[in-house]
Structure formats: C-alpha cells, structure tokens
Amino acid sequence: MRSRDLHEPLERTAHRALLHVVGVPHGDLGKPLVAIVNSWNEVVPGHIHLRALGELVKLGVREAGGIPMEFDTIALCDGLAQGHVGMGFSLPSREAIADTVEIMLEGHRFDAAVMLSSCDKIEPGHLMAALRVNIPTVMLTGGPMEGGRYKEQGEITLSTMREFAGQVKIGKLSREELTEIEKAALPGPGSCSMMGTANTMGCLIEALGMSPTGCGTMLAVDPRRPALAREAGRLVIECLRHGLTPLKIVTRQAIENAMAVDMALGGSTNSVLHLLAIAHEAGIPLTLDEFDAVARRVPHLCNVKPSGQYSVGRMDEAGGLPALMQELREFLHLDALTVTGKTLGETITGATVTNRELIRPLHDPLYPQGSLAILRGGLAPDGAVVKQTGVRFKSMLTHRGPARVFENMEEAVRAVMGDAIRPGDVVVVRYEGPKGGPGMREMHQITSIMVGMGLDEHCGLVTDGRFSGSTRGPCIGHVSPEAAEGGPIALVQDGDLIEYDIPNRRLDLLVAADELARRRVAWRPPKRELKGILARYARLAESASRGAILREPIGW
C-alpha cells in the first residue's frame, strides 16, 4: 500500500510521530489510509449536509478495517455566483479542485479515497483528480434538493425562480409576491432540484460506474442516504482489496454509457465540457461529433425540468437512474465495471419504471433525439452546443435574424431590460469564452430574463460563453473558436444576418467572405487587466470544443 511510505521504513520516525498526533495509534499503522475528500461548507446549499454524511462514510471505512482521514476542498455555488464577476471563477475552480485534491492525495500517500460533492464544478473536479491519482475511489454525490411549492405556481426550481424576474419586469408578478416565492422556493439541502449541471453530473457519475447504485437521483434528505454513505465507506475498502481503480472503471465504454444517459436525461450543456475533461484525464480521445452521433440515436426520455415538468426527486420516485438505464439497455455497454464490483448490467437488474409520465418508453419519447445537439458552420467552425429539448417554441428550432452584438453579458442584460431587443433579433454575447471571459461565464441571467419576458418565442441567443444547466430557450453556446482567439464570432457586427438550423446542425454568419476578410485585418483582441487565477486561466485554457481544459506544457 502507498501509505507504507509514511510509516514503514525505520527512518520515518517523524512521520509516525505526526500520525500519532492526528489520532493514528502505532498499532493501526498497517491499515489502509483512506482520504475522505469532502466539500462541505456553509455557503453552498448543495453541500451543507455533507459534513454529516462524511461522518457516516468514516464509520463505514472503520468498520471495513481502514483509517479514514478527512479534508475539505473548495466548493463554489454557481447559483450565488450567477450574473456578476464571480461566475468567471466557476469553471476555473474545476481545475483548482482537481489540482488541490491531487496534491493532498499524492502528498500524503493515501491508499484510497471517498469523495463527497453535490454541485456543478466540484463533482467533475473530484472525478478528474481521482483519474489522475488512480487509487481506489468511490464518489458519493449529495443528491438533489426537493422541489419547492408556492400556491398555484406548482413545483418550483431555481430555473423558474430566475424567470420570475422577467415576469416582474412585464407586470405579470408583483415584487411582493416574488419575495414570498423566494422564501418557499428552496425547501432544504441538496443540489438545485432541476436537471441542471449538478444533478446531471451526479447522474453521469453513477452511469460511469463511480458511485453507488441509486446515488444520482436519491434526494439529499432521503432516509436511505445515511446508509448509502456508510456503505460507500465499506465499498472503497473492497475496491482497494480487489485493485479496482478509477481507470479500470472509466473506460471508453463507460464514457459512451454516460453520453447515452446524458441525452436521455435532458442533461446540461455543461456536461459536454465536463465529459470532455474527464475523458482527457482518463486518456480517452473524445470529440464533439461523438456527442452528436449519440444524440441522433438516443431519444430524450425524462420529463424533468427545465426541459420537462417535474423535479429530479420525482424522477427518483419513478425508479431513478437504474430504471432509466434499464430502459436504455440497448444503447449501453452492460459489461462496464462499477465501484460496486458488479457490472452495470448487474446493478440495474430488477429496476423498473413506475411512472411513465416521468420516464417515457423508447417507443414514446419526449423528443425523438437526445437533449443536446452539436452545431457547426461559418459562425462555429469548431462547434457549438445547444439543448434542443429546451427550445420551448418549435418554430425557433430554425431562425434567421439580425445580430445584436454585445461585448459581455452585462451589456446584453441592460439591452433586454431596457426593451432594446426586437422580435427576430439574434442576441450575440462574445468575449465570454474560456480565454475571453476569462472563465467562460454562464449566460443564465440574460437567458432567464429573456424567457421570463417571452422573448424566446422570437429571438435567439448565440455566445462563446456557456449556460446554466437550467437554461431553456433557443440558446446556442460554446461557440468555437471563441472571440478572444479570433473566431468568426469576433467579426460579427450589428445587423449581420445569422442563421441557425438545429435539426440540420448548422450555425452560419451570412456575410460575404471578402467582407469577413476585411474585418479580420482590422480586428484586434481587447486588452484586459487580469491577475491571479483568471490571468493564469486565460493563458492556459483550451477551447470549449476540448472541454476548456488547461493546456499542458509541451516537452516536459
């Protein structure tokens, strides 16, 4: 075991003394040292219950003969970071989390790890670290929040909360009633209750085989979750005994399983960024075109917000992720391994769908294709991503309109709130990509206001930034190359015609080539004063088409 480096040689006398100080008696020094990689804090609603779950994981580790040692990683709440400069730090935090977990696991020679997380960048950050270090690891995601309720509003999620601002703007809702809704909308701990990025990634981690069966959709407050946490602690010791490491689980077959599940779930567009980054850490080549190929085969089955009617917790009542994967059997590699020691096929045996309104059969899907589509064309030579199932008005699956160009999200928000956007316009928000933002902020503030005001019936939005998993409407993001790298989106001017055709996977700028060449000669990237992590991220971030991973030095 790796932990022998800390205590076995005679000259490690100082190491043994240090371990004694933190509660490891000399008689236990031969036992497996298990990292409990928690991400609890008092800021993130999705993480406020993880401290208690961590204690139960430690109990399970001790029962199985291991020594648990807990540390916390940073965790950013994307909901609180929305709509201001803080969102620029969200995606970079994924790499920071992966780096710091790697440092802790390697620096202290842990033999195995259980990782607890619930929210957007923490889940993929933990998994990326697990793949780098490749010690036996079980991921315990914290589970979704219950949906909120207020009078006739029905089930409320964070995505509908943001749209209420647009309703106040057009007079459909009073400010006083909005305040009352705010008090009732989020009833307890857990990741936001729609199929946003957090719950998408929780489900995909289970589909990849890295978390216990049922973990992805089980509510944060479900009475079964404490037992699941304790089981995760026991399970990681079994993985250690059998040499079952992340790289044996996260194979190409597992990645393909996750993509299929993603399309059936109605998953977040951010899942594309994260699966590309996860595949990179696992040494598995993966391209945007592979996502689109899966989307053309696998239909959208889950009637879950924001693309459907219900919260993720309701999906769990209908059978959860195991039941969905049972429905998708023909699209899955059932022999893929999981942390349970069983194959994926074995873990879903006996799972059944109990509510066909929530999980539809293959022959009667919500949408005949998967939730996400990859677009290419003159405006996005390297690709762009759209949640096609989130387009409420099917007339907006194709559109041609004049561009309204904004250099950042704040400019676009002011224009929308000032009634400066006209029906038919295509709102273009640029210099929001990985390098240009920097940090590739989510454009959810602008999209939610547009939906709340009804503009998504007549207007599209195109950006080199990204979107919240709760975004809906004709919103095309991840446009690559981004504006900061001189991509075609940098050359768009007000009034230029933009045309997109989601069914045919096209995104084009209808401007003559010679005119674009003239504009390119005059183009200069904007200069920005950056410092700290955003300065480093702007220098090192790769394109969104590669998952916005950090460029690795050549020749090292």
Q: Does residue 38 fall inside a structural domain? A: yes
Shared domain check, 105 and 38: yes
Number of residues assigned to the chain: 556
Shared domain check, 389 and 343: no
Shared domain check, 271 and 144: yes
How confident is the model at residue 273, as a pLDDT? Answer: 98
Shared domain check, 319 and 238: yes
283-288 own/partner pairs: CB under 8 Å, 24+ apart = 283/247, 284/250, 284/251, 284/252, 284/255, 286/255, 288/374, 288/382, 288/383, 288/385, 288/545
Supply the CATH number for residue 472's domain. 3.50.30.80
Q: Do strands 460-463 and 426-429 pair parallel, antiparallel, or not at all (unpaired)?
A: parallel
Supply the CATH number for residue 123's domain. 3.40.50.2300
Q: Does residue 177 fall inside a structural domain? A: no
Q: Does residue 532 fall inside a structural domain? A: yes
Q: Does residue 75 fall inside a structural domain? A: yes
Q: Does residue 303 fall inside a structural domain? A: yes
Place of tokens 């454009």: 443
The helices-and-strands tally (H runs, E runs) of the chain is: 21, 14
Shared domain check, 259 and 137: yes
Shared domain check, 436 and 319: no
Q: Does residue 342 fall inside a structural domain? A: yes
How many domains does the chain fold into? 2
How confident is the model at residue 166, as a pLDDT? Answer: 80
How confident is the model at residue 555, as a pLDDT? Answer: 55
Shared domain check, 392 and 289: no
Q: Does residue 14 fall inside a structural domain? A: no
SS3 labels along 402-462: EEEEECCHHHHHHHHHCCCCCCCCEEEECCCCCCCCCCCCECHHHHHHHHHCCHHHCCEEE
* 490: containing domain: 372-546
Shared domain check, 299 and 242: yes
How confident is the model at residue 116, as a pLDDT? Answer: 99
Shared domain check, 483 and 391: yes
Averaged pLDDT in 10-residue chunks for the chain of 556 residues: 91 93 92 98 97 99 98 96 93 98 98 98 99 99 94 80 82 90 92 95 99 98 98 99 99 99 97 99 98 98 93 96 98 99 98 98 97 98 97 96 97 95 97 97 90 93 91 94 98 99 99 98 93 96 98 68
- The order of strands in the sheet holding 137-141 is 67-72, 33-38, 112-117, 137-141
How confident is the model at residue 361, as a pLDDT? Answer: 98
How confident is the model at residue 452, as a pLDDT? Answer: 86
How confident is the model at residue 554, as a pLDDT? Answer: 61
CA-closest candidate to residue 272, choices 30, 476, 55, 551: 476
Q: Does residue 488 fall inside a structural domain? A: yes
Shared domain check, 378 and 298: no
SS3 labels along 484-553: HHCCHHHHCCCCCEEEEECCCCEEEECCCHHHHHHHHHHCCCCCCCCCHHHHHHHHHECCHHHCCCECCC
Distance (Å) of CA 388 to CA 293, 446, 476: 14, 18, 9
Shared domain check, 406 and 336: no
Residue 70, strand partner residues: 36
Residues marked as catalytic: 468
Shared domain check, 441 and 341: no
